[in-house]
Amino acid sequence: MNDMADVAMGASANAAQWRAKLSLTYGRRGERTILERRAHSGPLVVQKSLYPEGDDVCQNIVVHPPAGVAGGDQLALEAAVGEDAWAQLTTPGAARWYRSSGAPARQTLDFSVADGGVLEWLPQETIIFNGAIAELETRIALAREAIFIGWDIVCLGRRFAGERFLQGRFAQDVVARRDGARQWVEQTRLESGCALLESGVGLAGHSVFGTFLALAPLVPDTVMAACRKVACDAGEVAVTHLPGILLARYRGDSAEAARDYFAALWSRARSMICGRDAVSPRIWNT
């Protein structure tokens, strides 16, 4: 989509104000993970279940047909993974958050994973247009023996269009719990003109940032050591290891570099934590 079309769609979408909710439930049937239940209202759906790795892993592509999020829109995705089931969710392209005339747009992700289950959340980047008001919330509830691996990549402004984030605000909350106890909590608040956009402890003038998160009953030191060897083509990166957590950061100006870096981390972490080699979703190459 070209820049003028993006702007025009953003203006018209502000008037429409979509409300969309998608609920997915995964279960284990013999050797196969299946999508047991899906329910949706509004323009948020999944395509048919795919099995590029065989029966163990059920892959779904989450699609938002309007292709952009505008002021007043509310999107909600819920995914529940049952015992010993394995679900992988990704998206077909970047999520565009359009400029707003004043109303915030909101996205809520609500994930739960039962004992022995695995959930992978591997979306493509989120582009926050100049003038957007974006609120994102992610809640992850894990049983004692559950695993979650996921990432998010945020682009402030449209770099290829020469657009900077000079107006608007971005808020993100992430809360992960294991057996009901908080395991990871993070809040991000960025507003046009705020000190964190330019500060060395913030974005240091960069426009792209991201977080990779792997949560498991046990994350061995060897996983962190292997992930610290992963190089990034452009930007600054760091890897941290906490009890049951592998955390990595990206800061730079390239969503492509961030995605390639996180995909490489995912490949190593998945193999070492889950015992299964990574197979990149085909949709990433289309």
In tens, the pLDDT along 125-150 reads: 999 999 999 999 999 999 999 999 99
73 in any annotated domain: yes
123 in any annotated domain: yes
Burial 66-97 (b: 16+ CB within 10 A, else e): bbbbbbbbbbbbbbbbbeebbbbbbbbebbbb
- Centroid of chain to Cα 99: 21
Structure tokens at 199: 């500060």
In tens, the pLDDT along 87-130 reads: 999 999 999 999 999 899 999 999 999 999 999 999 999 999 99
Host domain of residue 47: 3-203
Question: Which residue(s) pair with 174 in the sheet?
Answer: 138, 186
In tens, the pLDDT along 203-260 reads: 999 999 999 999 999 999 999 999 999 999 999 999 999 999 999 999 999 999 999 9
Confidence of residue 65 (pLDDT cuts 50, 70, 90): confident
83 in any annotated domain: yes
Q: Would you state the pLDDT for residue 14?
A: 46
To the question of pTM greater than 0.85 for the whole model, the response is: yes
151 in any annotated domain: yes
215 in any annotated domain: no
How many whole angstroms separate alpha carbon 4 and alpha carbon 9?
Answer: 9
Q: Would you state the pLDDT for residue 162?
A: 81
Tell me what the pLDDT averaged over the chain comes to. 93
228 in any annotated domain: no
Q: Report how many domains make up the chain.
A: 1
Structure tokens at 149: 């691996």
How many whole angstroms separate alpha carbon 97 and alpha carbon 131?
Answer: 9
Structure tokens at 204: 């240091």
178 in any annotated domain: yes
How many whole angstroms separate alpha carbon 261 and alpha carbon 190?
Answer: 24
Edge-first strand order for the sheet with 181-191 is 32-41, 19-29, 74-81, 105-113, 133-142, 169-178, 181-191
26 in any annotated domain: yes
Q: Are 165 and 207 in contact (CB under 8 A)?
A: yes
Structure tokens at 156: 């402030």
